[in-house]
Amino acid sequence: MKHVFIINSQIKKRKRMKFYNNIRSIYKEEDILIKETTYSGHAKEIAKEISSTDENIRIYACGGDGTIHQIVNGIKDFSKVELAIIPLGTGNDFIKSFYPLKKQDFLDLRNYQNSQTSYCNILEVNEHLAINTASIGLDVKIAQNVDKFKFFSFLGSAIPYYLGLLYSMMHSLTSVYKIRIGEHILEDEFTFLVCGNGKYYGGGYCPVPKAEVNDDKMDICLIKKVTRRKILSLSHKYKLGTHTAYTNLVSTYQENEFEVLSPEKEIVVNLDGETQVCDSLKIKLSDKKVKLILPNP
């Protein structure tokens, strides 16, 4: 089997060099291929090109959730590909769904020598795929604003998310949506609308605490209009996943389809931390699955 490491070039050079040495200390040179991304969307292109060779391949997504997202979209039409995750990025929310595994377990390449396998569900979002979450609402505005504050990630990986939240709260927090969830038709003013395969997003927030990546279900969390003061007071509970107790504000579902029936002029959707603009939005649980390779510490 060929071991292909697709590495996000935005990772600091010293960290990348240390990782290269780690790779070569464990794998034979003839069994590995190391590719660095050089522009946005490059990870998807690399993954698609390599997967089309019809070999048995294990691709290691070396970066954050955005790198995983791109690679999943690159390998979607190929059945001989395995995916492993090396969380070298600043945003690594997807791996948090695999408790009790820790980040360090994923970083240690020795743990992939006798690995575990999980066939992971994925979400179809129009013509795109998402492996972790797909969402619209305030969190998308926050994601768009996080880039303004990425410089502060040296203070902690969650700092840009908190700053993005505060910046977003200076503007409108809600929108009116008419949506379909399975057979349910709803119309209301919402702050958050999240479809989850994984539990966590946005720097460790837990909108869908009951989600499991391989249970053949899509978990959905809707949060109605809330005041700025209420958002600040509920933020900690949203991070812990205990916000679902507020049933006057929060609704949860397990359905396989979600659709916006009355879109605005355009919808900005957050897919695994990456934003896309679309005219219509339909999210469903895909028939496809990803063969996910997990560390075995």
User: What pLDDT, on the 0 to 100 scale, is given for residue 157?
Assistant: 66
Regions in the chain scoring below 70 on pLDDT = 153-154, 157, 263-264
Q: Count CB atoms within 10 A of the CB of residue 228.
A: 10
**Partner residues linked to 282 by β-bridges:** 259
pLDDT given at position 105: 98
Q: What is the pLDDT of residue 164?
A: 77
- Strands (E) located in 64-104: 81-87
User: Using CA atoms, how far apart are residues 3 and 32, in angstroms rounded to an integer?
Assistant: 5
What pTM does this model have? 0.91
Predicted pLDDT at 224: 95
Q: What is the CATH number of domain 2-125+290-294?
A: 3.40.50.10330
Gap between the terminal Cα atoms of the chain = 21
Report which residue type is found at 72: V
Instruction: Read off the pLDDT of residues 53-109 as tens digits, 9 standing for 90 and up.
Output: 888 999 999 999 999 999 999 999 999 999 999 999 877 999 999 999 999 999 999
CATH of 133-285, one of 3.30.230.10, 2.60.200.40, 3.40.30.10, 3.10.110.10: 2.60.200.40
**pLDDT value of position 146:** 76
Per-residue confidence (pLDDT) for residue 154, from 0 to 100: 67
Count the residues in the chain.
Answer: 297
Strand partners, 34: 5
Q: Hey, is 248 helix, strand or coil?
A: coil
Ranges of each domain in the chain = 2-125+290-294, 133-285
